[in-house]
Amino acid sequence: MTSDLSEFQNPYERTTRDTWLIFKIMAEFTNGFELMRRVDPAVSIFGSARLTSKSPYFQLTEDVSETITSAGFSLISGGGPGLMEAANKGAFRGIQDYKKHFPSERPPVNVGLTIQLPFEPKANPFVNLEVHFRYFFVRKVMFARYARAFIIMPGGFGTLDELFEALTLIQTNKMTKFPIVMMGVDYWKGLVDWMKETAIKEGALLKKHLELIHLTDDPEEAVEIIGRSYADLVSLVQRRKRKSRSKKRHRPTAKKRS
């Protein structure tokens, strides 16, 4: 399969293809926006495609995903194998539980944002909404645009990429602040210690930046953090709407000229 970068790296085709390339990108954005509208509120979860059911983090991923969807949040994963499959598997069970307790409510959605890669040929069998992408950057927008929180499970470069991009966007006020929960304390402790003992010490980070991260191995605690943040966000939006309506009611009208 052709990777998405090949279209940007061939210097002989840039002048003839760049103008048309934007339409492919627009089509992916349009399709993603249309399909993802019904998933709110949702939590995006990231983790290694290489860790199998033999890993202790596989069961942890299932447990937190089940807790998320049984609480009424949709779940967005990469839709592939490994911990992504564990996430959608746990979410499937949580959705069944939610339907049993709230049969008249719209159930959460079990989303897989799949990407065109040689080692991820199709979505795992637990996904009930697959959105397929060619371009990583479009896919990453969907992960962030429709999430109320991020769950970061143990993973490699891709997982680290999502973690640090989210932290950067929140740090620079380009994205609304939301919880970033890192699960697998033993796995992530070294990285967090490095940020505390090296990056902060050297002045590259501030202590307040690490307040964006929550480190836990408890699925209930993770969902409690997310639920508390979501309730605060809903309350903030309602206050802003009331304030906006009040301003409109009290806005002076322009006097007509005689």
Give the predicted TM-score (pTM) of the model. 0.83
pLDDT at 121: 65
Confidence of residue 3 (pLDDT cuts 50, 70, 90): very low
Nearest to 69 by CA among 226, 199, 253: 226
Q: Mean pLDDT, the chain, as a whole number?
A: 88
The tokens 């304390």 sit on which residue? 185
Q: Which residue has the higher pLDDT, 243 or 47?
A: 47
Nearest to 61 by CA among 43, 92, 93, 85: 85
pLDDT at 166: 94
- Rounded to a whole number of angstroms, the distance between the first and last alpha carbons of the chain is 72
- Interatomic CA distance for residues 126 and 170, integer angstroms: 31
pLDDT digits (tens, 9 = 90+) for 187-206: 999 999 999 999 999 999 99
- Interatomic CA distance for residues 74 and 108, integer angstroms: 4
Residue type present at position 211: E
Question: What's the whole-number mean pLDDT along residues 27-44?
Answer: 94
In the predicted structure, residue 79 carries a pLDDT above the cut 80:
yes
Residue type present at position 222: A
Q: Are 92 and 126 in contact (CB under 8 A)?
A: yes
Confidence of residue 235 (pLDDT cuts 50, 70, 90): low
pLDDT at 194: 97
For the chain, give every domain's residue range.
Answer: 6-241
CATH architecture of 6-241: 3-Layer(aba) Sandwich (3.40)
Q: Are 74 and 49 in contact (CB under 8 A)?
A: no
pLDDT above 90 coverage of the chain, percent:
73
pLDDT digits (tens, 9 = 90+) for 94-121: 999 999 999 999 999 999 999 987 766 6
Q: Are 132 and 117 in contact (CB under 8 A)?
A: no
pLDDT at 2: 43
